[in-house]
Amino acid sequence: MTLAESARPQVAARPADPRRWAALVLLCTANFMVILDAQAVIMGVPVIAADLGLSPVEAQWILSGNLLTFGGLLLLGGRAADLLGRRRVFMLGTALFLAVSVLSAVATAGPLLLVARTLHGVSAALMAPTALAILTDMFPEGRERNRAFAAWSALAAMGATIGLLLGGALLGWFGWPSLFFVNVPVAVLMLVLSPVLLRESRDASAQRSLGVAGAVLSTASLGLLVYLLVEAPTLGWTSFPVLGLAVVFAALIGVTIAVDRRSAAPMLPARLFRSPIVLGGNLLTVLMAMLAYGMSVVLSQYSLGVLGYTPIRFGLSQSVMPIACVAGAYAAQKALARMTVRPVAVAAFVLLGTGSALLIGISPGAGYLTTVLPGLVVFGLGLGIGPVVLAAAALNRVTPADAGIASGINVAAFQIGGALGVAVVSTIIAANMAATPGPSGALAGFHAGMAACTGFGAAGVVVAFVLLRRAHRGTLAAVPRMH
């Protein structure tokens, strides 16, 4: 027996970290705050724009600037965590999150706020994938990891709805700076607890090089893709700028792949996508995000624009969905202990598609209890199941050296899917409104947008059947334990 072979059982037999459940609360809180902040700021954009004198285009970049840096830097953040240490990068992201929250709250001019929100995307790109990689490291494969994924999923879903509720309340009571000040005590507490609850992790055998060319190219590619998706609904999908950017994006992807093939430390390792389960997990994550964000666009615009709901009333009307998400996440981690990935993923997309189909019937005369509530409950169940099984699939048997980048890819898939869902659904709504002016056109637009979400759900069922067919029970043992 070689020295390496004799060492293997000792690594596998290393006792689970006794701090892992307290650490899980910390890591889920980080992800919760990233999502909470984004949702709360959505509610505050009109008020902020009016107070700081921002034009509609400038106001849009309060959201788009954050999305651009978050989506563009996710892979770089994940790889940096692999090389520099996950706890270190997580704390760096948290410290930046704290600083930009203060800077956003005290901003008295539009340009300063836009810079702060752009930097917020950088902090989120460091925190989110690193937190997921640390979670995967601290929890052993099987039931415990599935339970951890379920908690991660449930709290993320709750953050989306609570952000709308909290954002509306803070705006009404304390003004828009409170949207950012609320992050400060939580970020301070996370910084204090991180050295206590989180152990440092990196793989000693990992390539000690970032691969500068690949890092620059992949970051530019992702950033350009997010920018393209943000601008396409306004400029037009067939406009010269959009088509030109699409060509540049395709060229950048081709160059990135060519550079990565020759690099000792590729930013997008091809080995991660040779597994149909990992590939399927990430593709389905894109579709799930398209559903989540697309449905949010339809319901928010319909409720606030057509029904005249206040932000608080809208948040309350959606509050049943995070409850259903928690139930779905709990059911998912139980199901993964008994069956393979594919039926659980299929069930998630069937529920998401069915919930969207039920909501196609929304109209000013439709009752909330008979039309909206059933759709929200069914959709919420699917939204709770989806992230649990898809994160497990996307991190299936990833090596220790690739844990951070694999988490970054999965979070990036969700961000890209979200941007794509908003772009597609917004375009569909606008096209229908333009074709039929007046209230009937608005209603037709919202119905068409929700029908598109139903189509995303059907596509997810097909992808799950095709790419997850080789998954066997017990193969969701993602990342080997790290030093």
- Please give the distance of CA 375 from its chain centroid, rounded to a whole number: 22
Rounded CA gap, 383 and 325, in Å? Answer: 6
58 phi and psi angles, rounded to 5 deg: -65, -40
Reduce the DSSP state of residue 380 to 3 states and report it: helix
Token pair for 415: 């961000």
What single-letter DSSP state applies at residue 16? P
| Residue 181: exposure state from Cβ atoms within 10 A (0-12, 13-18, ≥19) | middle
Mean pLDDT by 10 residues, the chain (483 residues): 39 63 90 84 82 79 79 76 84 94 91 91 88 81 75 75 76 86 94 90 55 70 79 82 89 82 68 78 90 84 76 76 85 83 92 92 76 89 88 72 71 81 83 76 84 94 86 44 32
Rounded CA gap, 111 and 105, in Å? Answer: 13
Q: Are 418 and 289 in contact (CB under 8 A)?
A: yes
Rounded CA gap, 384 and 237, in Å? Answer: 32
Q: Give me the DSSP letters along 344-413.
A: HHHHHHHHHHHHHHHHTT--TTS-IIIIIHHHHHHHHHHHHHHHHHHHHHHTTT--GGGHHHHHHHHHHH
Q: 121 CB contacts (<8 Å, ≥6 apart)?
A: 65, 66, 67, 68, 69, 70, 71, 72, 73
pTM: 0.76
Q: Are 85 and 121 in contact (CB under 8 A)?
A: no
Rounded CA gap, 168 and 163, in Å? Answer: 8
The CA-based diameter of the chain, rounded to the nearest angstrom, is 78
pLDDT, position 332: 86
Rounded CA gap, 371 and 376, in Å? Answer: 9
Rounded CA gap, 60 and 86, in Å? Answer: 33
Q: 367 CB contacts (<8 Å, ≥6 apart)?
A: none
Q: How many CB atoms lie within 10 A of CB 136?
A: 28
Reduce the DSSP state of residue 308 to 3 states and report it: coil
Angle between helices 183-197 and 20-52 (to 10 degrees): 160
pLDDT, position 183: 93
pLDDT, position 6: 40
pLDDT, position 483: 32
Token pair for 162: 């609570």
pLDDT, position 477: 42
Q: Give me the DSSP letters along 317-338.
A: HTTHHHHHHHHHHHHHHHHHTT
What single-letter DSSP state applies at residue 241? H
Q: 327 CB contacts (<8 Å, ≥6 apart)?
A: 380, 381, 384
211 phi and psi angles, rounded to 5 deg: 70, 75
pLDDT, position 479: 35
CATH number of 16-199+209-467: 1.20.1250.20
Rounded CA gap, 229 and 421, in Å? Answer: 9
End-to-end CA distance of the chain: 22
65 phi and psi angles, rounded to 5 deg: -65, -40
Q: Which amino acid would we find at residue 202?
A: R
Q: Are 153 and 388 in contact (CB under 8 A)?
A: yes
Q: Are 359 and 448 in contact (CB under 8 A)?
A: no
Rounded CA gap, 156 and 149, in Å? Answer: 11
